[in-house]
Amino acid sequence: MSRIGKLPIDMPKGVTVTMNGQELTVKGPKGELKQTINPAITVEVKDGQVHVSRPNDEKENRAMHGLYRALIHNMIVGVSEGYKKTLELVGVGYRASNNGQVLELSLGYTHNIFVKLAPEIKVETKSERNQNPLVMLESCDKQLLGQVCAKLRSFRKPEPYKGKGVKFVGEQIRRKAGKSAGAK
């Protein structure tokens, strides 16, 4: 049995989980999420817990068992607590500002980068003197939030020599020594 798949998922107060055919819907104070479930996987809601089970021990069913349990858990945590990620812009002249759902990034290119974010994502930018600009993103959908963060990071990945670029707050960048002067 899958170690992750066999664990029951506790539902916090204010969260409802409903199964309609193969579509699972999770509603909570932060929003509503939907996920299509593989027909081989069975999802049951009883006694304030969600149980995920599989019909047999075939390799594909074992993989799907743990996957769907993790996805449902992420959905429940998302609609009850939400997910937050903070990106830091490290570099001289790097700036970030937002106008509603449009994020404007100045990352050392000849032009500014404008990114229109999905309505499910709340964005906030923070620029203080003598500190790196921060972009705070919040959403109930963990997958969407990670995808948007990866897209923003891809505009200017942190480089190993000076550490410039877009990075997560708290992320350790592996640094390299530059070329040594006068080596023979």
Residue type, 152: L
Say whether pTM exceeds 0.75: yes
Six-digit token string for 59: 């390799």
Six-digit token string for 152: 């923003």
Tell me which residue has tokens 């006694």. 47
pLDDT given at position 182: 57
Residues in Cβ contact with 115 at an 8 Å cutoff, skipping those fewer than 6 apart: 102, 103, 104, 105, 151, 152
The gap between the terminal CA atoms of the chain, to the nearest Å, is 61
Digits of tens for pLDDT over the chain (184 positions)? 468 888 999 999 999 999 898 999 999 999 999 999 999 999 999 888 999 999 998 999 988 999 999 999 999 999 999 999 999 999 999 999 999 999 999 999 999 999 999 999 999 999 999 999 999 999 999 999 999 999 999 999 999 999 899 999 998 999 998 887 655 5
Exposed (0-12), middle (13-18) or buried (19+): which is 47, by Cβ within 10 Å?
A: exposed
pLDDT given at position 76: 94
